[in-house]
Amino acid sequence: MIDLKTIFKSFSNKKIIVIGDVMIDTYIKGKVNRISPEAPVPVVKFESKENRLGGAGNVALNIKALGAKPFICSIVGNDENATLLNKLINQNHLSDEGLIKVDDRTTTVKTRIIGNNQQLIRIDQEDVTLISSQMAYNLIETVKDIALKEKVDAIIFQDYNKGVLVAEVIEKLTKFANSNSIPVVVDPKKDNFLTYKNVTLFKPNLNELKEGLDIDFDYDNSNKSDLLNAIEVLKEKINPKYVFVTLSEHGVFINDETDNFFIPAHLRNITDVSGAGDTVISVATLCLTSGLKPNLIAEISNLAGGLVCEKVGVVSIDKEQLMQEVLKL
């Protein structure tokens, strides 16, 4: 019998590197009572502004919320927003030693204008050009240094197609991790989808799986053959140890060396799905490093994703709430 309380307690001993596109999520909120006389757009009467860590930074926040120690490794601009990013990292008591600032890059900021609790528009400041070979080399060496010095338990590639995770970074760090017996967990996007070869756990959602393999099919719980065929194609192309696919309202799928597991979604009062994937990858990584079997990894991660969807905005998982829900089940 697995002692889940002991497993959750063991998260506090884990150290996880999160590599990828780190960004700032800015929320400007206010009330809308009229339309502008200048153009047919709502006038938002300003009430508040909030800056949060986003992208790979949100994964780090989830790792921390679960009790483990995350290290964010990324390339950002040497600009005013990078200073704000550093401030947010420090405010959240995270390490910034893996953050590399470069002059010819823009720190990503996504600004959401929210009126009467409804998002009206989003403004993105970003540079999605691929990082240079020199930047890639510096990032690779930084990750290696932290991994060996801290004796990390896993590496997460958190990809948002913003240019940090280039093929050189993915391939060299996966090879380094495998040679040092460090599990590699991937939350992929389309551009590098088939570059993540020989990783430990590969976690696309259903749309990413279809886009990454350039195939299309409709999925429901009565017809699983197309999904299983796609998983076999994926395994042939990139050879992951485990494939973990989130299926939205249909739950999740995971496989191990011999079996396939389909885990249904839990009935939830869904408020906001933002950030759910970040929570799922964080929980899955810590469960993996704690030695849980794939079906349990998927069960607990699926539950965590549902819990954060009940809350408004991008929020981190509540470790105690998750443990209580897991114990109930």
| pLDDT less than 70: residues of the chain | 1-2, 222, 266-275, 306-320, 322-323, 326
Provide the whole-model pTM. 0.91
Amino acid type, 63: I
| Runs of H (alpha helix) within 261-317 | 276-289, 294-308
CA distances from 92 to 20, 158, 187 (A): 18, 19, 23
- What pLDDT shows up at residue 19? 98
Every domain of the chain and the residues it spans: 4-328
- What pLDDT shows up at residue 272? 41
Task: Render pLDDT for 283-316 as a digit per residue (tens, 0 to 9).
Answer: 999 999 999 999 889 988 888 776 655 555 555 6
C-alpha span between 16 and 202 (Å, rounded): 16
| Whether the Cβ atoms of residue 226 and residue 206 lie closer than 8 Å to each other | no
- CB under 8 Å to 267, separation ≥6 — which residues? none
Closest CA to 139 of 22, 277, 61: 22
- What pLDDT shows up at residue 273? 45
36 C-beta neighbours (distance < 10 Å), count: 10
- What pLDDT shows up at residue 208? 95
Q: What is 4-328's CATH number?
A: 3.40.1190.20
- What pLDDT shows up at residue 184? 98
Catalytic residue among 145, 216, 278, 318: 278
Q: Which residues on adjacent β-strands are paired with residue 120? A: none
CA distances from 8 to 66, 95, 156, 266 (A): 8, 22, 19, 21
Q: How far is CA 269 from the centre of its chain?
A: 22
Task: Assess whether 226 carries a catalytic annotation.
Answer: no
